[in-house]
Amino acid sequence: NIHNHILDNHEAALREGNEQRRRELLTFVVVGGGPSGIELAAAIQDFVRKALVRKYPSLMSQTRVLLVEAQDALLSGMKAKMSELAISRLRSRGIEVLLETRITKVLSGGVQTVDGQTIATNTVIWVAGVKPVAVVESLPFEKAKGGRIMVNQYLEVPESPGVYVLGDCAYLLQENGSVPYPPTQQVAMRQGPACARNIVRTMRGEDQRPFRYKFKGQVIYMGRNLAVAQLWNRVFDGFAASLLRRFFYLWVFISYLGLPTGF
């Protein structure tokens, strides 16, 4: 697992005489500036600076955690302030944030960017998205960049009435017409019932209703007692955001147990 891999790399670096190889062992590259990439980079930094520092103090000055994002901001699809706060928090914690840096190759000793530069590393963790499954790729429908199938406001394939696509497979622009709904659980869980209702309406000969969803918010881990949060239109960070994150996960845990949550 990642925990043991980081530990093994530090152990190997302690014995490594070659400076270049030591740098590779102590450089950890996370590719993808979405919520998963940010939280992973923060967790790695926590582990290194708060746990491994006791055992490998001599290696701390050489250990690097990099977060690489192809776009000019983190957290695509969220408010610009959310990205700005995330970048500020990450950099203040010693995490190197590289924007507008597209990775084209993963090599045995590093990664290569679109402009030909190489980042030497023994660890590359890819959280920049995945290709659609084979069945989606094979379907003869119009697709957006990334391979998601383009659908109309009813979650229906425009050129094939009666065919519906939702969740990670669907590309649907939000009401403003410029930003697609993100492929997240929060959106997919609401698309499911909306799609089912439209299918029933169609079977009854009734008009379909467009899918509309207002983003309620997200809390992203930035380190121990730190987070950035967007709650409806409000963006904030720090300890208050961290408390909100803990409360949310406690609420989810209680709801999974089937206990009353008060909501």
Reported as a single tens digit per residue, the pLDDT across 65-106 is 999 999 999 998 788 899 999 999 999 999 999 999 999 999
Q: Which residues contact 24 (CB under 8 A, 6 or more apart)?
A: 109, 110, 120, 121, 122
217-223: strand order across its sheet: 217-223, 226-231, 234-237
What integer pLDDT is reported at residue 258 of this predicted model?
Answer: 67
Report, as an integer, the average pLDDT of 247-255. Answer: 71
Q: How far apart, in Å, are the Cα atoms of 43 and each of 25, 100, 121?
A: 18, 23, 18
User: Within this chain, do residues 47 and 120 fall inside the same structural domain, yes or no?
Assistant: yes
Q: Is residue 210 part of a domain?
A: no
Q: State percent of the chain over pLDDT 70.
A: 95
Single pTM value for the model: 0.81
Res. 116: pLDDT tops 70: yes
In terms of Cβ atoms closer than 10 Å to its own Cβ (0-12, 13-18, 19+), residue 132 is: middle
| Contact status, residue 120 vs residue 24, Cβ threshold 8 Å | yes
User: Within this chain, do residues 29 and 85 fall inside the same structural domain, yes or no?
Assistant: yes
Q: Which residues contact 16 (CB under 8 A, 6 or more apart)?
A: 22, 25
Q: What value does the mean pLDDT of the chain take?
A: 90
User: Within this chain, do residues 114 and 34 fall inside the same structural domain, yes or no?
Assistant: yes
User: Within this chain, do residues 23 and 121 fall inside the same structural domain, yes or no?
Assistant: yes
Greatest alpha-carbon pair distance for the chain in Å reads 75
Reported as a single tens digit per residue, the pLDDT across 132-143 is 788 999 999 999
Q: Domain boundary residue among 126, 151, 186?
A: 126
Q: Is residue 209 part of a domain?
A: no
Single-letter amino acid code for the residue at 28: F
User: Within this chain, do residues 10 and 117 fall inside the same structural domain, yes or no?
Assistant: yes
Q: Is residue 211 part of a domain?
A: no
Of 72, 73, 76, 53, the C-alpha closest to 63 is 53
What integer pLDDT is reported at residue 194 of this predicted model?
Answer: 97
Q: Domain boundary residue among 77, 100, 126?
A: 126
CATH number of the domain residue 74 falls in: 3.50.50.60
Q: Is residue 177 part of a domain?
A: yes
Q: Is residue 263 part of a domain?
A: no
What integer pLDDT is reported at residue 260 of this predicted model?
Answer: 61
User: Within this chain, do residues 36 and 64 fall inside the same structural domain, yes or no?
Assistant: yes
Of 222, 174, 187, the C-alpha closest to 44 is 222
User: Within this chain, do residues 113 and 70 fall inside the same structural domain, yes or no?
Assistant: yes
Res. 252: pLDDT tops 70: no
How many domains are there within the chain?
3
Range of the domain at 250: 217-256
User: Within this chain, do residues 174 and 250 fall inside the same structural domain, yes or no?
Assistant: no
Q: Domain boundary residue among 101, 126, 151?
A: 126
User: Within this chain, do residues 83 and 42 fall inside the same structural domain, yes or no?
Assistant: yes
- B/e letters for 154-188, b = 16+ CB within 10 Å, e = fewer, are bbbbeeeeeebbbbbbbbbebeeeeebbbbeeebb
User: Within this chain, do residues 95 and 177 fall inside the same structural domain, yes or no?
Assistant: no
Q: Is residue 212 part of a domain?
A: no
User: Within this chain, do residues 154 and 118 fall inside the same structural domain, yes or no?
Assistant: no
User: Within this chain, do residues 227 and 159 fall inside the same structural domain, yes or no?
Assistant: no
Report, as an integer, the average pLDDT of 24-33. Answer: 97
What integer pLDDT is reported at residue 90 of this predicted model?
Answer: 96
Q: Which residues contact 169 (CB under 8 A, 6 or more apart)?
A: 132, 136, 148, 149
Q: Is residue 262 part of a domain?
A: no
Q: Is residue 208 part of a domain?
A: no
Phi then psi for residue 130, to 5 deg, are -130, 165
